[in-house]
A and B are shown apart, each in its own frame.
Chain A
Amino acid sequence: DGGITQSPKYLFRKEGQNVTLSCEQNLNHDAMYWYRQDPGQGLRLIYYSQIVNDFQKGDIAEGYSVSREKKESFPLTVTSAQKNPTAFYLCASSISRDGYTFGSGTRLTVV
C-alpha cells in the first residue's frame, strides 16, 4: 500500500536537545511538507520541498531544519533554538496540483 510513514509516533525531548522526526513516502510524489499543529491554532507550514535537494521555509521555520537528499524522505530536525517545540507534527506529500496525502503524525513533548 502506498502512503506516508512518520516515526516515531511519540517523541520526548530534553531542554537543549536536537531531535529528528522521520517522514518517508512511497507514493512517488515530488513535493513534501511539514506542518505543526497546536490546539486552537490550526495547521501551520514549517518547511516544504518541491524537488530533491531543494526546500523552502514556510511560515514558522525558525528553530527547525530539513533535508531532502532522496525523493522518498524529508526528515525534520527540531533544534534547541525552537523555544516551544511541544506540538503535533504532520508530514504530507503531493504531486503537481493534486491533493495532499498526510502521515499519521508525531507528537513531540519537551520534558
Chain B
Amino acid sequence: KQEVTQIPAALSVPEGENLVLNCSFTDSAIYNLQWFRQDPGKGLTSLLLIQSSQREQTSGRLNASLDKSSGRSTLYIAASQPGDSATYLCAVRVKAAGNKLTFGGGTRVLVKP
C-alpha cells in the first residue's frame, strides 16, 4: 500500500527566506505527483503537477522536483512572503486499481513578517 510522508509537519520562517518542503512515497509505480496549497477552512488549490516521466516543474517562485527511483519530491518556494502561509500537501496518483490519489499529512507553513 502506498504511503506518503511529509516532513516537517510544521515550519516557521522569516519573510524572504526560501522554503523547502519534503515529500516521500513508498511505491515508485505512480502516474504523477501533485502539490497542493490549503488555506484554513478552504479547499485545495493545485500548485504543480509533475508527471512520472518528468524531473521538475516550475511556476513563478515555485519549483518542484521528482526523483521517482528514491521516492522523493521537494517543493521549493523562493523568497517567501507572509501570503505563502498555508498548509502544503503532496499527493501521488498510484497505478493501482482506480488510479487513486494518496495524500501526505501536509506541512503547515508560517512566514513571519
Chain A residues in the interface with B (C-beta under 8 A): 6, 31, 33, 42-43, 45, 48, 50, 56, 58, 88, 90, 92, 94, 97-105, 107
Given A33-B101, A48-B98, check contact A97 B106 (CB 8 Å). no
Asked if B43 CB lies within 8 Å of chain A CBs, one says yes
Interface string of B44-72 (1 = CB under 8 A from A): 11100101000000000000000000000
Given A99-B49, A105-B42, check contact A45 B100 (CB 8 Å). yes
Chain B residues in the interface with A (C-beta under 8 A): 31-32, 34, 36, 41-46, 49, 51, 89, 91, 93, 98-101, 103-106
Give the dominant DSSP class at B's interface.
Answer: strand
A56 to B46, CA, bound (A): 24
Chain A, Cβ-Cβ closest to B106 = A42
A56 to B96, CA, bound (A): 14
Given A97-B99, A99-B34, A99-B49, check contact A104 B106 (CB 8 Å). no
